[in-house]
Amino acid sequence: MAQVGYSKKVMDHFMNPRNVGVIEAPDGYGKVGNPVCGDLMEIFIKVKEDKVEDIKFRTFGCGSAIAVSSMVTEMAKGKSLEEAMKITRKDVADELDGLPPQKMHCSNLGADALHAAIEDYWIKTGKIRPEDAKHKQGQEEEEGESCGI
């Protein structure tokens, strides 16, 4: 992955990803797929006092997807659920000092899986109805550009 166009932060989070793993019996679980490359992302959260107390991810994604998920878990940890829900795909890419244009679609997975996990928690606790969730479990998100791997 030592290619031109990857920031130092992307390389750091790819080589040393934070919060990798699974939380047993999570309060919220999100799983999304990327229709461009077929990669998958799962995010698990533990919630305490309406905050993201713990968060882990597991992905069958590329290096950029790993860096993005690592970063999104760092950004969400300790935030209130409402704040974490506002983290956008672009916020994550910006926080990584950008991604090469052909890799921008990989940044979708992290934020989408996070939002799906929060919505899963909100459904379980009765805050929203399942039909109101914007991120359906396992559903592929909208099309992006091919990453050309």
Least distance in Å: CB of 57 to ligand FES? 13
Q: Which is nearer to ligand FES, 55 or 65 (CB)?
A: 65
Determine if 106 is a binding residue for ligand FES (CB under 6 A): yes
Contact, 82 vs 126, CB < 8 A? Answer: no
Least distance in Å: CB of 36 to ligand FES? 7
Distance CA 22, CA 117 (A): 13
Choice among 106, 113, 133, 147 that is catalytic = 106
Least distance in Å: CB of 54 to ligand FES? 24
62 is catalytic: no
Q: Which residues pair with 32 in a beta bridge?
A: 41
Selected binder of ligand FES within 19, 64, 69, 73 (CB under 6 A): 64
106 is catalytic: yes
Q: x/- string (CB under 6 A) for ligand FES, residues 18-57?
A: ----------------x--x-x------------------
- Cα-Cα end-to-end distance for the chain: 11
| 119-124: long-range pairs with CB below 8 Å, 24+ | 119/28, 119/30, 120/28, 120/29, 120/30, 121/27, 121/28, 121/45, 121/47, 121/81, 122/28, 122/81, 124/27, 124/28
Q: Which is nearer to ligand FES, 26 or 33 (CB)?
A: 33
Q: What is the residue whose two structure tokens read 């890799």?
A: 103
Q: Which residues bind ligand FES (CB under 6 A)?
A: 34, 37, 39, 61-62, 64-65, 106, 109, 147, 149
Q: Which residues are marked as active site?
A: 37, 106
